[in-house]
Amino acid sequence: MTVFCIDGGIFPLIFFLLIQNGNGEECTKIRNNRHYSCEGRNLTYIPSSIPSSVETLDFSFNLLPSLQKHLFPPLNDLQVLDLTRCQIQYIADDAFHNVKNVTTLILTGNPVSYIAPDSLNSLHKLQRLVLVDIGLLSLNVQFNNLTKLQELKAGSNKIQTIALPPFMINFKDFCVLDLHANNISRIKVNHTAVLREMRGNITLILSSNPILHIEPGVFKDIYLKELNIQSAFVSFDAMRYGLKALSGLNVGKLIIGNYRLSQVIKISDADYLAGLCLIHFTEIYYLQKERSPFNINMFHCMVNATKITLRRGALTGMEHVPFHQLKELYIGDHHLSIFPDLSHAHSLEKLVVVDNNAMLFHGLSDMPKLQHVDLSRNQLILQDCCSCYFRDTPNVRHVNLSLNANIWLNEKPFYYLGLIEVLDFHQTKLDLIGQFGVLQNLKYLKYLDLSYTRTTFSSYVCFYGLKSLKILKIAGNTFQGNTLSYLFENLTALEVLDLSHCGIDRIDCKAFRNLQKLSQLLLSRNNLMVLDFLTQPNLQSLTWLAVDQNSISVIKLNTLQNIPANLSVFDISSNPISCFCTQTDFILWIIKHQKIFPQSYNILCKTVSSDSKIRLIDFDTEGCVHIRRLTIVLCICAVTFLVIVSVLTYKFQFYLRYGYVLLRGYRASRQQECSYDAFVIYSSKDESWVMDELVENLENGSPPIHLCLHVRDFEAGKAITSNIIDEGIMGSRKIIVVVSKHFVESAWCRFEFEVAQSWLVMQGNANIIIIILEDVEEKSKKVFGLHKHLKNNTYLKWSGNPINNMRFWIRLRKAVITRK
Ligand SMILES: *[C@@H]1O[C@H](CO)[C@@H](O)[C@H](O)[C@H]1NC(C)=O
Ligand SMILES: *[C@@H]1O[C@H](CO)[C@@H](O)[C@H](O)[C@H]1NC(C)=O
Ligand SMILES: *[C@@H]1O[C@H](CO)[C@@H](O)[C@H](O)[C@H]1NC(C)=O
Ligand SMILES: *[C@@H]1O[C@H](CO)[C@@H](O)[C@H](O)[C@H]1NC(C)=O
Ligand SMILES: *[C@@H]1O[C@H](CO)[C@@H](O)[C@H](O)[C@H]1NC(C)=O
Ligand SMILES: *[C@@H]1O[C@H](CO)[C@@H](O)[C@H](O)[C@H]1NC(C)=O
Ligand SMILES: *[C@@H]1O[C@H](CO)[C@@H](O)[C@H](O)[C@H]1NC(C)=O
Ligand SMILES: *[C@@H]1O[C@H](CO)[C@@H](O)[C@H](O)[C@H]1NC(C)=O
């Protein structure tokens, strides 16, 4: 391998080494083992990773300054070799030795300075040779052995003549000579000598040459398949004389006109197309960029044509021409103010007159073969459409009246046009069509476009009778009431339905119930929130559904799980999708089925601030799992806590109540006036003693002592604890505790006693009088804290003895009465 040194410098060498040490992934396999692309890899050699079975090798944009014998490894199956812009300068004799079965060789854009005589000649099977932009000065390249050659493309060179080398006479299959953008300024009779000898039927491309002069009769009696002389003349004058000099040429398709906007035609240039009448052509393509203040009469020269295409011109009118074999007429982007008079064109099959501003159209008549009529983009205003505009045109199958201004239909608009298969009215204001079944005789109609026709569908019968309809587009219209639910009822052949931008907010499940063949449903730009209709079992053929730009925030999992099985495109982008942990199921479904959501990265979550966009597929469902776990843990904790608190409360209810009571009592203490002399704490089992002895002796004595007894004095309906505090402890100056076995056994007594003790401690006085009615065990005394009182305080002991009792009562009375 010696090629890399030609550039000199160290860079190619380094590069070479880098690539040599590379991973062998220099080229891309395009299709099985037959098609490889190494485009733009800066390679200086053919990588060994290319298998010998390769048939097409795109090696463009690499570095092969010099093509030498061993550059190409043996690639016997190679047919197409693309060496575009490889900086090839030198092609050695046996450069293509190993790829000699190539049929297409592309050398575009190489600064070739030397092609060895035998190099191309060894490619015996070559059919297409592309020598575009390689700095050729003439066609005197040595390719005389390439008898199979069919196409020679030598555009963008500096060739000055169309003369072909004599050996090409033997090229029996030769059919395309492309010499566009060369430096051909003169064409002389002897330049076409070889062409004349060849079999003819050649496509000759001479566009973008600076032709100044053509010798008359140059192409006389030559048959060309196609001649392209667009922008091939330096001036209108050159064109005028040039066309005349083509007199006698017989050509299938003639392509004339200019790519670039030319200057305005002067009166003196007006007949610059007159030469057309001297050329025999069947098809003409005229790209007219020149502007003309007057009508150029050229159609009479096209009277024998079968196909006329006129694009991008300033045509303002068209003379009457008795076309007798015209099959196709295409007039686009002109300034016609009135539709051309085609009354003699009985042979017309296809008529396209588009892109004219506010053209007047009075209708077509007597065109028995006419099938295709496209009058779109003309700002047409048609009243009482359409049969009266198509008189005796029974074979019309394709009518395009889209992008016009306003069309008023009559009740039977297509009465005589029953064969129509394609009808396009989009973006033309229409009437009637939403209210009546005006299309019902079109039983062959396959394609109907009523998008943006400002139609309000108010009747179920609009599409009545359209039993062949496959494609229906009614985007940008509106529906009255529940028309939508029944409108498509009988369209059983329907495959594509476009209902975009119709302001639909709800679709009844039965709306599509008979559309068993529906495969594409477009509902973009509506206000849908739910997609229940998708579960309709008859939509099993649906493969494409677009509901982008609606108001969908979530799709029910049930709906998603029941979408048509073959749905392969489901566009829900640009909806206010809510990404909350509660929607995890929905979000996970989308992430899992990402491949049916085109541009799933465009499905964004609705956020509070509209400028920060989160992609749904980036939504952190893991986080949701954590949050869910955390919630469960917290719930468990809370429950446990409650249980523990309940257990504790139950267990320590006594202390709680006790604390509560204390707190209440303390708060209330200040406002309380004592209404009893003493509050008696006793067990209800000692009630007989209390009533018979205590009450009897104290209350009935003198002075009477007013006792507070819970059985008698506590307010009914008030909580016991409140009574203990309000009435008993706080309402009494002293507290009498009647200690007995029953007393120590009673939780209530203990409670009352504890409260009383604490209360008195808080108050700072110890007005407790203890009566020992019965002796109790020391242990119980300790539990109650009684023993402290028994030590410090006065206590009275009851005995059955009447004398002792006298003393007992006196002492008790004294203890109660004494104010401390
Ligand atoms: C090839 O080389 C050119 C100029 O040296 C450089 O701009 C380009 O990035 C290279 N391409 C590759 C694929 O390395
Ligand atoms: C071209 O053809 C001639 C005559 O048929 C033959 O002698 C010659 O070897 C061929 N050249 C190449 C490179 O094949
Ligand atoms: C084109 O040909 C003319 C002679 O016909 C010559 O003077 C001119 O330099 C050529 N132009 C180029 C770009 O080769
Ligand atoms: C020209 O070639 C085409 C195929 O490219 C062929 O169909 C046609 O019959 C040929 N016409 C003549 C006049 O040879
Ligand atoms: C059209 O064809 C007729 C008969 O073949 C011929 O006489 C006439 O000159 C042709 N007109 C043009 C403009 O080629
Ligand atoms: C009708 O014409 C419009 C504008 O020229 C074009 O976009 C549309 O595709 C045509 N309709 C059909 C059905 O060919
Ligand atoms: C559908 O066809 C049936 C039977 O032909 C007909 O009774 C019904 O009105 C049609 N419905 C619509 C909406 O066209
Ligand atoms: C779904 O697609 C498969 C494979 O393309 C096809 O065989 C099957 O008939 C389709 N199902 C429906 C209901 O169209």
The pLDDT > 70 percentage for the chain reads 93
Residue 528 domain flag: no
* 738 and 759 housed in the same domain: yes
Token representation of residue 640: 């446990």
Q: 201: Cβ below 6 Å to ligand 4? A: yes
**Residue 496 to residues 241, 470, 520, 541, 560, Cα–Cα distance (Å):** 54, 6, 5, 11, 22
Q: Is 708 helix (H, G, I), strand (E, B) or coil?
A: strand
Write the residue with the smallest CA distance to atom 4 of ligand 6.
Answer: 376
- What is the extent of the structural domain holding 430? 315-456
Q: How confident is the model over 63-72, as a mean pLDDT?
A: 92
| Banded pLDDT at 666 (limits 50, 70, 90) | low
* 113 and 184 housed in the same domain: no
DSSP calls for 189-219: GGGGHHHHHS---EEEE-TT--B-EE-TTTT
Predicted confidence (pLDDT) per residue in 611-658, tens digit: 667 888 788 778 878 888 888 899 999 999 999 988 888 887 767 777
Write the residue with the smallest CA distance to atom 5 of ligand 7.
Answer: 490
> Which strand (E) or helix (H) includes residue 105?
strand 104-106
Residue 280 domain flag: yes
Predicted confidence (pLDDT) per residue in 785-797, tens digit: 777 777 766 678 8
pLDDT for the residue numbered 723:
75
Write the residue with the smallest CA distance to atom 7 of ligand 7.
Answer: 490
Residue 433 domain flag: yes
**Residue 87 to residues 109, 119, 120, Cα–Cα distance (Å):** 8, 17, 18
Q: How far apart are CA 183 and CA 135, in angstroms?
A: 11
Write the residue with the smallest CA distance to atom 7 of ligand 8.
Answer: 566
Predicted confidence (pLDDT) per residue in 551-567, tens digit: 999 999 899 999 999 99
Residue 118 CA, closest ligand 2 atom number: 13
Q: How far apart are CA 455 and CA 326, in angstroms?
A: 37
Q: Tell me which ligand sits closest to the C-alpha of residue 150.
A: 4
Sole residue written with tokens 């498509």: 488
Instruction: Name the residue of 202, 225, 227, 281 whose CB sits within 8 Å of the most ligand 4 atoms, as the mutation to test its pocket.
Output: 225
Sole residue written with tokens 């009469």: 297
pLDDT for the residue numbered 616:
82
Write the residue with the smallest CA distance to atom 6 of ligand 4.
Answer: 201
Give me the helices (H) in 150-262, please: 193-197, 236-245
* 205 and 323 housed in the same domain: no
pLDDT for the residue numbered 527:
96
- Choice between 610 and 171, residue whose per-residue pLDDT is larger: 171
Q: How confident is the model over 306-317, as a mean pLDDT?
A: 86
The pLDDT > 90 percentage for the chain reads 55
Helix axes 584-592, 621-651, angle to 10 degrees: 150
Write the residue with the smallest CA distance to atom 3 of ligand 8.
Answer: 566
Q: How confident is the model over 67-93, as a mean pLDDT?
A: 94
Mean pLDDT for the chain?
87
Write the residue with the smallest CA distance to atom 10 of ligand 6.
Answer: 400
pLDDT for the residue numbered 819:
66
Q: How far apart are CA 287 and CA 731, in angstroms?
A: 118
Q: Using the CB atoms, write b or e for 121-134: b if 16+ within 10 Å.
A: bbbeebbbbbbbbb
* 379 and 416 housed in the same domain: yes
CB 553 within 8 A of CB 578: yes
Residue 15 domain flag: no
Token representation of residue 347: 């042979």
* 772 and 746 housed in the same domain: yes
pLDDT at 688 over 90: no
CB 587 within 8 A of CB 615: no
Residue 521 domain flag: no
| Banded pLDDT at 669 (limits 50, 70, 90) | low
Sole residue written with tokens 């096209």: 302
Q: 116: Cβ below 6 Å to ligand 5? A: no
Q: Is 291 helix (H, G, I), strand (E, B) or coil?
A: coil
Q: How confident is the model over 704-723, as a mean pLDDT?
A: 78
| Banded pLDDT at 186 (limits 50, 70, 90) | very high
Predicted confidence (pLDDT) per residue in 313-322, tens digit: 777 788 889 9
Handedness of CA 84, 88, 90, 92 (dihedral sign): negative
Q: How far apart are CA 771 and CA 164, in angstroms?
A: 147
| Boundary residue ending a domain (129, 148, 183) | 129
Q: What is the CATH number of the domain that holds 345?
A: 3.80.10.10
Instruction: Name the residue of 436, 462, 464 whose CB sits within 8 Å of the most ligand 7 atoms, as the mutation to test its pocket.
Output: 464
* 110 and 204 housed in the same domain: no
Q: 42: Cβ below 6 Å to ligand 1? A: yes
Q: How confident is the model over 154-173, as a mean pLDDT?
A: 95
* Domain total in the chain: 6
Q: Is 694 helix (H, G, I), strand (E, B) or coil?
A: helix
Q: How far apart are CA 343 and CA 395, in angstroms?
A: 17
Token representation of residue 720: 């016991």
Q: Tell me which ligand sits closest to the C-alpha of residue 203.
A: 4
| Banded pLDDT at 397 (limits 50, 70, 90) | very high
Name the residue type at position 295.
N
Q: How far is CA 386 from the centre of its chain?
A: 39
* 791 and 698 housed in the same domain: yes
Percent helix / strand / coil, the chain, rounded to 5: 30, 20, 50
Residue 525 domain flag: no
* 110 and 52 housed in the same domain: yes
Task: Count the Cβ atoms, other than its own, within 10 Å of residue 201.
Answer: 12
**Residue 546 to residues 426, 520, 562, 790, 809, Cα–Cα distance (Å):** 20, 8, 17, 94, 103
CB 569 within 8 A of CB 596: yes
Classify residue 650 as exposed, middle or buried by CB count within 10 Å of its CB (0-12, 13-18, 19+): exposed
| Boundary residue ending a domain (129, 148, 181) | 129
* 755 and 776 housed in the same domain: yes
Q: Cis omega before residue 27 (within 30°)?
A: no
The partner residues of 604 in beta bridges, in order of sequence, read 615
* 278 and 211 housed in the same domain: yes
pLDDT at 470 over 50: yes
pLDDT at 404 over 70: yes
* 389 and 256 housed in the same domain: no
Dist. CA 519 → ligand 8 center (Å):
11
Q: Cis omega before residue 111 (within 30°)?
A: no
The ligand 3 site (C-beta within 6 Å) comprises 158, 160, 183, 185
pLDDT for the residue numbered 612:
63
* 629 and 694 housed in the same domain: no
Predicted confidence (pLDDT) per residue in 509-535, tens digit: 899 999 999 999 999 999 999 999 998
Predicted confidence (pLDDT) per residue in 117-149, tens digit: 889 999 999 999 999 999 999 998 889 999 999
| Boundary residue ending a domain (393, 421, 456) | 456
Predicted confidence (pLDDT) per residue in 260-277, tens digit: 776 777 777 778 889 999
Residue 475 domain flag: no
Q: How confident is the model over 339-359, as a mean pLDDT?
A: 90
Write the residue with the smallest CA distance to atom 13 of ligand 1.
Answer: 41
Q: 659: Cβ below 6 Å to ligand 1? A: no
Q: How far apart are CA 36 and CA 668, in angstroms?
A: 99
Name the residue type at position 194.
V
Dist. CA 20 → ligand 1 center (Å):
16
Dist. CA 318 → ligand 6 center (Å):
24
Q: How far apart are CA 82 and CA 30, in angstroms?
A: 14
Predicted confidence (pLDDT) per residue in 26-39, tens digit: 789 888 889 999 99
Q: How confident is the model over 153-167, as a mean pLDDT?
A: 96
Sole residue written with tokens 């309940």: 646
pLDDT for the residue numbered 3:
32
Q: What is the CATH number of the domain that holds 806?
A: 3.40.50.10140
pLDDT for the residue numbered 21:
38
**257: alpha, beta or left? (left if phi > 0; alpha if psi -120 to 50):** left
